[in-house]
Amino acid sequence: MTTTLHPPLTMPSLRGSFGDWIYYSCLMSVSDVATRVDYAAEIHPSKELSALIQRSLEGDRAKRIADYLRNTDERFFNSLVLATYDGSPEWYDVGNLSSSKNAAILKEMTDGAVDTIGLLRLTGDERIFALDGQHRLAGMKLAISQGQDVGDELVSVILVGHSLDTAGSRRTRRLFTTLNKTAIPVKKKDIIALDEDDVMAITARRMVEQDAAFRHPKIAVISGEAMPSTNTESLITISALYDLLKLLFLHKDGVRSDYSLRFNRPDDDALDEYHAYATAIFNALGRTFPPVASLMRAKSPATVVRQNRTADGGHILFRAIGLDIFVRTAIAISARDGVTLPVAIGRLSVLPTQLSDVPFRGTIWNPSRRTVDAKHKALARRLVFHLLRLPMSPRQRQTLEGDYRVALGHQRDDAKIKLPAPLVQ
């Protein structure tokens, strides 16, 4: 007597065709997905490669997806694409629909559309693996193994047939790579505009919508990440604000990964705390650097921006690169000295603030072109750390003077060019 791999399973389904693929769109429980579906090992000739892929899939990302299933009531997955071979899946179209009391509605459907509605029965002998959604699969497997109460929930799956011969494997590999190569990550501007889990996005929206100090145009609500050269009324773009908030919230929470901040929406009280923290930091910047406070208070922000973002450079905090450097520096002071971030920001007052000043002139500010040069951003930050005697790695400190000389257009060993003197003892 032959033992099947799994009990038979009958699923509500739609049958369709796309190109030369016949596919079935079904509803399958999380527990069935976890127990019946494997990773895409069968399309890789190398078993070592398959094992490597499985180890990768069952790592941190699987744990994060399992946590998402456990902690998020509004959880949702898009369809997994699964390939089947072996067994004898059977399709049963739904007959005698014409006797339904909704016959008038059914008449509006074409005969071909009616034929797509039915049931797909798996005998239990099928072997199924994921072509698209392997990380979601790994997360579901982990969630079920942990005993999470999600096994009866239904997820959407799309099944296609797979042949074990050389041509069939090549065809399935092509579909696998097509599905994964053409997947486009969500753009930051869309995350900022729409995401209801991402703490930075939620806070950025709240700041520009509700706070007069940050309302557009003070923070430019535009689709691009870079500030247009024609803008004369905004401190930074909302994309740059999002990046600053990420730095601040990572420091606030004392974590290195932003995963929880991006995917696990906290309760409203916690969101209020993040918002209050962000506004407190900007208020501290305003107290330490009056032009920032002037912009936050201004009824006509263009007047303040034109004074502080000029053809000769202007105030460093009126450029996203400058805000990034100063915030990172304040975080380093806070970590070293065990003080709050607002206190650390107060200690930045000794720094030069004009882009035309040392150490920004010739590094992040190109005086001949009158443009910001982002390629020297890390060098400028190291120079600021040097001015404030903040810790650096031995290599960063050893190469600092030579890197500075090169950025200014000199030879690395040109002894005439010296580092600026530290500003603190």
Per residue of the chain (425 residues), what is the pLDDT tens digit?
A: 445 678 889 988 998 888 888 899 999 999 999 999 988 665 555 455 555 556 666 678 888 899 989 988 888 998 998 888 777 788 887 765 555 555 665 566 566 666 788 888 888 888 888 888 888 999 999 999 999 999 999 999 998 887 766 776 667 766 766 676 666 677 888 888 888 889 999 999 999 988 999 998 999 988 778 899 899 999 999 999 999 999 999 999 999 999 899 988 899 999 999 999 999 999 999 999 999 999 999 999 999 999 999 999 999 999 999 999 999 999 999 999 999 999 999 999 999 999 999 999 999 999 999 999 999 999 999 999 999 999 999 999 999 999 999 999 999 999 999 999 999 98
Between the alpha carbon of residue 28 and those of residues 11, 132, 196, the distances in Å are 7, 15, 27
What is the C-alpha separation between 286 and 304, in angstroms, rounded?
13
| CA dihedral over 281, 287, 288, 294, signed as positive or negative | positive
Length reported for the chain: 425
Query: In terms of Cα–Cα distance, which of 108, 89, 81 is closest to 97?
Result: 108
What is the C-alpha separation between 70 and 173, in angstroms, rounded?
33
Q: Parallel, antiparallel, or unpaired for β 117-122 and 9-18?
A: antiparallel
Q: Are 40 and 131 in contact (CB under 8 A)?
A: yes
Span between the terminal Cα atoms of the chain, in Å: 85
Query: In terms of Cα–Cα distance, which of 38, 8, 6 is closest to 120?
Result: 8
Token pair recorded at residue 362: 């010739």
Q: Are 26 and 157 in contact (CB under 8 A)?
A: yes
Instruction: Find how far residue 107's CA is from the centre of its chain.
Output: 46
